[in-house]
Amino acid sequence: MPETSKKVMLVEDDKFLSSLIRARLEKDGFQVAQAFDGDDAIKRLPEERPDLVILDLIMPKTNGFDVLKAISLMPGLERTPVVVVSNLAQDSDVLKAQQLGAKAYFVKVKISIDDLIGKIETLVQQPIA
């Protein structure tokens, strides 16, 4: 198992998918904090201070687009890389997420867990500019 002290916050309301991604991240040496809706994520992000956020867009309470906006306004977290994992597959949704700061976008029905982990590992190694 690779050694890393990198922390990922996983914001996903689908408990099964969340547990699947969490298990794989932990197997690969990441610390994982979980939130199951946007309100919880916004409340906990400042205390968790993750190195990367995995974010669903369609969630109860506050949606992922609003979470992206909130992250961009959080002192010390505004440059935290965000990887979106969503069922929204339209180009306009991808573009909106990117404009709000998402560094990568995966569509759930097409996702490869290996591709997701590879992207996460790349992003957490990059220096924050």
DSSP 16-69: HHHHHHHHHHHHTT-EEEEESSHHHHHHHHHHH--SEEEE-SS-SSS-HHHHHH
- Percentage of residues of the chain with pLDDT beyond 70: 95
pLDDT on residue 57: 97
- Do residues 9 and 51 lie in contact, with contact meaning Cβ atoms separated by under 8 Å? no
Q: Give the confidence band of 129 by pLDDT, cuts at 50, 70, 90.
A: low
Could you tell me the residue ranges of all domains in the chain?
7-125
The answer to whether 66 touches 40, Cβ cutoff 8 Å, is: no
Structure tokens at 37: 């809706």
pLDDT at 29 over 80: yes
Q: Which CATH class is domain 7-125?
A: alpha beta
pLDDT at position 1: 44
Check residue 128 and give its pLDDT.
62
pLDDT at 111 over 90: no
